[in-house]
Amino acid sequence: MLPTQCLCTNLRRAARGVSRHYDGALDGFGINVAQYSLLCNLKRLDQPSISSLAEAMGLDRSTLGRNVRVLEGAGLLKMTEGADQRNRLVCLTEAGDQCLKAALPAWEAAQQRLMDRLGETKRAQLLQLLDELAGTD
């Protein structure tokens, strides 16, 4: 049976499969790969607003707001008042930082298994391609 030629379909399928791979690795740390990514970005950016974090992650603001709420409920991040009355900042809690530290080896292992499968050349190719696709529309 011929595979689909649709770039989008193939991209979505790959994203699902790879997400399952990472989710499996992160199992036991109380977070999935989407949450791991959110927490990482929180560590990388310094107390971003909902909007800027969403922008940085290529997510809709409302989506990010809801994802943030889940992690806030888990105590891994918290919201603080910004300079502006309407502006709220997202920041990592100590627990969130610990969670990231604890999960790091598992993430590294998952990443490494994938890189071993691909090899260095394809890994670089893939990252390059994904970067180009990131700004789609």
Contact indicator for 130, 58 with CB cutoff of 8 Å = no
Site stretch for DNA (CB under 7 A), options 32-40, 92-100, 103-111, 114-122: 32-40
CA geometry: angle 67, 65, 129, nearest 5 deg: 70
Q: Which stretch binds a copy of itself (CB under 8 A): 72-80, 89-97, 98-106, 117-125?
A: 117-125
Is 106 near DNA (CB under 7 A)? no
Tokens standing for residue 44: 């990388």
Pick the stretch among 18-26, 68-76, 85-93, 94-102 that binds a copy of itself (CB under 8 A). Answer: 18-26
* Token pair listed for 79: 């919201």
Nearest to 49 by CA among 74, 12, 84: 84
Q: Which residues bind a copy of itself (CB under 8 A)?
A: 1-22, 24, 33-34, 37, 40-41, 44-45, 56-59, 107, 110-111, 114-115, 117-118, 122-123, 125-127, 129-137
